Structures are given as structure tokens and as C-alpha cells.
A and B are shown apart, each in its own frame.
Chain A
Amino acid sequence: DAGVIQSPRHEVTEMGQEVTLRCKPISGHNSLFWYRQTMMRGLELLIYFNNNVPIDDSGMPEDRFSAKMPNASFSTLKIQPSEPRDSAVYFCASREGAGTDTQYFGPGTRLTVL
């Protein structure tokens, strides 16, 4: 199993630019989570999908952030426009189904906004 795949692994961009982060969950997993990790705030859940439907987006910091899951094997997290305070490591995790609880994490995308 390839595990959760994220791309890019590193992204450096300038303030005001659009950033798109990508995630491929483990095949057969029905739930997908986006997290943000910073030194100050630790790991924060941004949004949670089940069967491609957003279930809880209460962690999305503001309207500049949006996430989609057009199919079971792909999700994107978009930031537009990006700001320096968005600099963080963004993780995607997947889970087999709503009735299970073990999440498997991807390697993360380190985002730097200058």
C-alpha cells in the first residue's frame, strides 16, 4: 500500500498568490482529514470529509481557505490569497470509514508564504 500521498512536499510562494495542496488517500478509505501544524498551535483539524462530502469545516480559518473532494481518490486544499501567517505544515489523513477511528497520515506539505 502506498499510503497517503501528498503533493507538493514543499511549497514556497509569495503573499497574495494562490496555493493548492493535493492529497490522495489510501485506496478504499472513505474519510479524509486536512490538518495544519504550527509551533504555536500544534495540530489543528481544518476539515473532515466522509464519502467525499464535507462533514465538518469548522476548523477552516477563514474564507481564504477552501477544500474539495471531487472523488474518493483525490482532495485539494486551496488558499487564496495566501498570507505569511498561513506558513505551516499541512497534513492529510485518511480513515477506512465513519465507523472506524484509526487515521493514517501523509508526509505533509511544508508551506512557506513570503
Chain B
Amino acid sequence: AQSVTQLDSHVSVSEGTPVLLRCNYSSSYSPSLFWYVQHPNKGLQLLLKYTSAATLVKGINGFEAEFKKSETSFHLTKPSAHMSDAAEYFCVVSDPSGTYKYIFGTGTRLKVLA
């Protein structure tokens, strides 16, 4: 069975400092992994996606994530936080059993301090 764990429910960083949002997954198959961002009162926006083409995935707005099979991790990073990055971030694994249903993490709320 697939599962995903976001290790921090809340993360606070100062503007201009690096961001690290942690995600670990469990999958019996080669997973597809995603990060989505949800700003207040908005829908989920795709940040980036891993599908085995490259372990380091670059996304929008300066975010990137590295797939580490040995650690079963897919952490999201950004070198320098901006105030507009304040949002909730979801790590998602896709169930490749045929339906490709999403399994969501519980979310990490990122706060950016001025």
C-alpha cells in the first residue's frame, strides 16, 4: 500500500532564508510523487512532479525536490523564501496500481516571517 508522511505540520522561516519541507513515502512500486501548494482560499496548484526521469526535479517559483530512493524521501526546498511562499504544501504519491489515485500527505503550513 502507498502512503506519504509529511514530517512537519508547521514550518516557520524568515524571508530570504532557505525552505525545507520534508516528505517520506512508502510505495511498493516506482512511485510518481508530487508537491502541490495551496494558498489561502485557493485550489491546489502543482509545484513539481517526479516520474523517474531525473532525481532532482525543478518546479515553479524556485522550488525543487530531490527523490532519494534509499531514504524514501522527496523533500521540497527553496534557497530563499519569499513572503508570497506562505501557504500550505501537500506531498502526494500516485497509486500506480491502475487507477493512479492520489494519496495525500497531511500538509505542511509554511509561515514566512518578515
Contact = CB atoms under 8 A, between A and B. Distances in A.
Interface of A: 4, 33, 42-43, 45, 48, 55-56, 91, 93, 95, 98-108, 110
B34 A48 contact: no
Contacts, number: 41
B104 A55 contact: no
Given A91-B43, A101-B32, A101-B94, A48 B99 contact: yes
B100 A98 contact: yes
B77 interface: no
Contacts of B36: 105
Given A43-B104, A45-B101, A45-B102, A105 B96 contact: no
Interface stretch (B16-24, B44-52, B65-73): B44-52
Interface residues of B, number: 20
Contacts of A101: 32, 94, 96, 100
B49 A102 contact: yes
B100 A104 contact: no
Interface of B: 32, 34, 36, 41-46, 49, 90, 94, 96, 99-102, 104, 106-107
- Tell me the interface secondary structure of chain A in the complex: strand
Contacts of A108: 42-43
Given A42-B106, A45-B101, 16 more contacts: A4-B43, A33-B102, A42-B107, A48-B99, A48-B101, A55-B99, A56-B101, A91-B43, A93-B44, A98-B99, A100-B100, A101-B94, A103-B102, A105-B45, A106-B43, A107-B43
Given A42-B104, A42-B106, A43-B90, A105 B99 contact: no
28 contacts: A4-B43, A33-B102, A42-B106, A42-B107, A43-B90, A43-B104, A45-B102, A48-B99, A91-B43, A93-B44, A95-B100, A98-B100, A99-B100, A101-B32, A101-B96, A101-B100, A102-B34, A102-B49, A104-B46, A105-B36, A105-B43, A105-B44, A105-B45, A106-B43, A107-B43, A108-B42, A108-B43, A110-B41
A107 B49 CA distance: 20
Contacts of B106: 42
